[in-house]
Chains A and B, each alone.
Chain A
Amino acid sequence: MTQTYSTVASGSGVAASPMLQVTGLNVYYGESHILRNVDLTVPRGEMVCLIGRNGVGKTTMLKTLMGLLKPRSGNIIFDGQPILGKTPDRRAKLGIGYVPQGREVIPRLTVKENLLLGYEARATRPQNTTEIPEEIYELFPVLKTMLTRMGGDLSGGQQQQLAIARAIMGQPQLLVLDEPTEGIQPSIILDIEAAVKRIVATTGISVLLVEQHLHFVRQADRYYAMQKGGIVASGSTRELSNEVIQKFLAV
């Protein structure tokens, strides 16, 4: 596997190490074996897509990465340091921004409060934590008009934009997106795609994306295909063949 490293400056990590390196990960729900020896690498500044049909274990993989699930074996190295012993909040502070499946906007907080929570992940909290930076509104103009609405009252697409904006507020080094276009109307899917593309272009952060939409998948640099909890194919998305698409994407 050849890897190209971009030159995004990193805080603590070794410059040559990949942003994220997962090796030999085995995860169980009770006694059922969900992830089997998963190896996955996200090089710095690249967008990596994890594809696979429903129920193969993609969300499980991301939850383990965030620390919501404990693996039985394996290792996760983020920015050059092992993070398996760390709690989710420590991992967020290290620079992993998580946009979960189902969005998980905090329902009885206003949009603004949801956004402000994004500051929690910053390693050093900014002086003024009551204002939202203008860049956020440039990425997602719709949010500016509904700052006082309750997060739970937004539509699915608006919640998704809020969840991504919230993650970006923390200035992560790695953005983790779990099916950001699931159940969202096509016009907003394009908005979300464009926003993610712009985030990558302006900040140069790495992205780990779980996605079913072929159009979005093609934006990524590399893909990993998962089946029954194991990685069964990987490569550059340019070489993504129709056969692989048929097999791993629910199109």
Chain B
Amino acid sequence: MLPSILDGIFNGLSIGSILLMAALGLAIVFGLMGVINMAHGELMMLGAYTTYVVQNLFKPLGIFSQTYIFFALIMAFIVAALAGLILERGVIRYLYGRPLETLLATWGVSLMLQQFVRSVNWVLIAGLAIFCLLYFGGMWFVKKRPDFDVIRQKAIALLLPLSAAVAVAVGVFLSQTFKSAVTQPWFGAQNVDVTAPKWLQGGLPIGNYQLPYTRMFIMVLTALCVAGIYFFLNKTAWGLRIRSVTQNRNMSACLGIPTNKVDALTFALGSGLAGIAGCAVSLLGSVGPNTGQNYIVNTFMVVVVGGVGKLVGTIAGAMVIGLIDYILGAGILALLFAQIPPVAEFFTFFATTSMAKVMVFLLIVIFLQYKPAGLFPQKGRTVDA
């Protein structure tokens, strides 16, 4: 009885920690730009796959390979942050002030990213690299000409099909020359497994229960991330700029704050946090192209429940939702109320992952009836443009 409750609380808290890392980025970006990034879960997924790749690269290194996790964390942050940066500069910045279009566009990006990890192989990478090199390199070259504004349309009309054709041709050539060595997908549609380093396997015994080290590691990691973000937002010049733009974008711009740089930086930071969350996810189980989707709904719920603009709200929201979700889904309440059959039956009914989600949704809907602005609403003047 006691072990299962401890287990529930501990697992719930560690799921909550992952939600918190993911939701932090989402909440900061939403507060700053009013943008909901539907591809946030896929950025987590990218972080998880980065962990997998780093682990495999470290495998031949013998004893040193057990430290892969630290490099994986850094790489997951960098990869996800870069992906987020490209997403912001390439798509989202053209859609500011149009939340619905942003939602749809980022949803499309999330589908593309899922398909990307399923089918990525050397041919695809080579093709993409060649296309980017030719097209953006060409545009960079054209941009330096004084009559750029005049010939811009023509340059695009010429460069786009040309670069695409070369990229496709190289791709076809590569796949016919090297066959399956280059056409074999890296990951495929199946899940891949990350094994936690040896020193994270096992657990801390408490009575006849073991607190798994991986989950403790995730909690410590989350605490570090939260502390880091708190420090960054409150003690650095860029943090001050972010807070200022979040509260009054127009006036901040009139003060000389480069708002587009602030947007790009914040988006990259939020995405990087998602990458770290993805790295943590990979320690808990196998990861697949759909990994992001499993977490994204709950992450959105954390932002909704926690309210925007307050770190404590996000923290509390993440922990509460992580706990409720896990405790319901694992059927722990049903165990607790075993003596009272109708109650036990009620909780048994909700003791599956999907039914637990339904219950969490219901609770949130009820909660929002009473506190529409979340757990810790902003006091005083609200932000207006």
Binding site for B on A (CB under 8 A): 66-68, 87-89, 91-93, 98, 100, 104, 106-109, 113, 116-118, 120-122, 129, 150, 152-153, 166, 170
CB distance from B353 to the nearest CB of A (A): 39
Bound form: Cα–Cα A100–B384 in Å: 14
Point out the residue from B241, B243, B381 that lies within 8 Å of A152, measured CB to CB: B381
7 A-B residue pairs with CB within 8 Å: A89-B254, A92-B256, A106-B244, A106-B247, A108-B380, A117-B257, A120-B255
Bound form: Cα–Cα A108–B259 in Å: 18
Q: Is B165 part of the binding interface, using a Cβ–Cβ cutoff of 8 Å? A: no
A118 contact set on B, CB distance < 8 A: 255
Q: Is the CB of B256 within 8 A of A170?
A: yes
A67 contact set on B, CB distance < 8 A: 253-254
CB distance from A18 to the nearest CB of B (A): 22
Which 6 pairs of residues, A with B, have the shortest CB-CB distance? A121-B256, A92-B256, A120-B256, A88-B253, A104-B251, A107-B381
Bound form: Cα–Cα A120–B380 in Å: 26
Point out the residue from A68, A87, A108, A121 that lies within 8 Å of B255, measured CB to CB: A121
What 12 new A-B contacts, CB under 8 Å, besides A89-B255, A92-B253? A88-B254, A89-B259, A98-B254, A104-B248, A106-B251, A106-B252, A107-B380, A108-B309, A109-B247, A120-B241, A120-B255, A152-B381
Point out the residue from A100, A108, A116, A152 that lies within 8 Å of B254, measured CB to CB: A100
Q: Is B115 part of the binding interface, using a Cβ–Cβ cutoff of 8 Å? A: no
Point out the residue from B240, B258, B309, B381 that lies within 8 Å of A117, measured CB to CB: B240
Bound form: Cα–Cα A100–B385 in Å: 13
The residue of chain A having its C-beta at the shortest distance from the C-beta of B247 within the complex is: A106
CB distance from A65 to the nearest CB of B (A): 10
Point out the residue from B240, B248, B258, B378 that lies within 8 Å of A89, measured CB to CB: B258
CB distance from A15 to the nearest CB of B (A): 25
Q: Is the CB of B257 within 8 A of A106?
A: no
Bound form: Cα–Cα A240–B257 in Å: 39
Bound form: Cα–Cα A98–B256 in Å: 10
B244 contact set on A, CB distance < 8 A: 106, 109, 113, 117
Q: Is the CB of B253 within 8 A of A89?
A: yes
A66 contact set on B, CB distance < 8 A: 254
Taken residue by residue from 353 to 385, chain B's Cβ proximity to chain A (1 for < 8 Å, 0 otherwise) reads as 000000000000000000000000010110000
Q: Is the CB of B380 within 8 A of A92?
A: no
The residue of chain A having its C-beta at the shortest distance from the C-beta of B382 within the complex is: A107
A116 in contact with B250 given A89-B257, A121-B255, A152-B380 (CB within 8 Å): no
Main secondary structure of the interface of B (DSSP, over half): helix
Q: Is the CB of B243 within 8 A of A93?
A: no
A109 in contact with B255 given A104-B248, A152-B381 (CB within 8 Å): no
CB distance from A137 to the nearest CB of B (A): 20
Q: Which one of B251, B252, B256, B309 has the greatest number of beta carbons of chain A within 10 Å?
A: B256
CB distance from A77 to the nearest CB of B (A): 19
A108 contact set on B, CB distance < 8 A: 243, 247, 309, 378, 380
Q: Is B340 part of the binding interface, using a Cβ–Cβ cutoff of 8 Å? A: no
CB distance from A112 to the nearest CB of B (A): 10
Q: Is B157 part of the binding interface, using a Cβ–Cβ cutoff of 8 Å? A: no
Q: Is the CB of B243 within 8 A of A109?
A: yes
CB distance from B312 to the nearest CB of A (A): 14
Bound form: Cα–Cα A72–B113 in Å: 41
B252 contact set on A, CB distance < 8 A: 106, 117
Q: Is the CB of B254 within 8 A of A92?
A: yes
A68 contact set on B, CB distance < 8 A: 250, 253-254
Q: Is the CB of A113 within 8 A of B256?
A: no
Q: Is the CB of B255 within 8 A of A92?
A: yes
The residue of chain B having its C-beta at the shortest distance from the C-beta of A107 within the complex is: B381
B1 contact set on A, CB distance < 8 A: none
Bound form: Cα–Cα A152–B244 in Å: 13
The residue of chain A having its C-beta at the shortest distance from the C-beta of B259 within the complex is: A89
B381 contact set on A, CB distance < 8 A: 107, 152
CB distance from A175 to the nearest CB of B (A): 13
Query: Which chain B residues in 282-300 approach chain A with CB under 8 Å?
Result: none
CB distance from A104 to the nearest CB of B (A): 4
A91 contact set on B, CB distance < 8 A: 254
CB distance from A129 to the nearest CB of B (A): 7
A107 in contact with B240 given A66-B254, A88-B253, A98-B254 (CB within 8 Å): no
Bound form: Cα–Cα A35–B252 in Å: 25
B257 contact set on A, CB distance < 8 A: 89, 117, 120
CB distance from A94 to the nearest CB of B (A): 9
CB distance from B259 to the nearest CB of A (A): 6
Q: Is B204 part of the binding interface, using a Cβ–Cβ cutoff of 8 Å? A: no
Bound form: Cα–Cα A3–B381 in Å: 44
Q: Is the CB of B258 within 8 A of A116?
A: no
The residue of chain A having its C-beta at the shortest distance from the C-beta of B258 within the complex is: A89
A88 contact set on B, CB distance < 8 A: 250, 253-254
A100 contact set on B, CB distance < 8 A: 251, 254
Bound form: Cα–Cα A91–B380 in Å: 30
Q: Is B2 part of the binding interface, using a Cβ–Cβ cutoff of 8 Å? A: no
A93 in contact with B256 given A104-B248, A106-B247, A108-B378 (CB within 8 Å): yes
The residue of chain B having its C-beta at the shortest distance from the C-beta of A66 within the complex is: B254
B240 contact set on A, CB distance < 8 A: 109, 113, 116-117
Bound form: Cα–Cα A106–B210 in Å: 50
Q: Which one of B241, B251, B255, B380 has the greatest number of beta carbons of chain A within 10 Å?
A: B255
The residue of chain A having its C-beta at the shortest distance from the C-beta of B310 within the complex is: A108
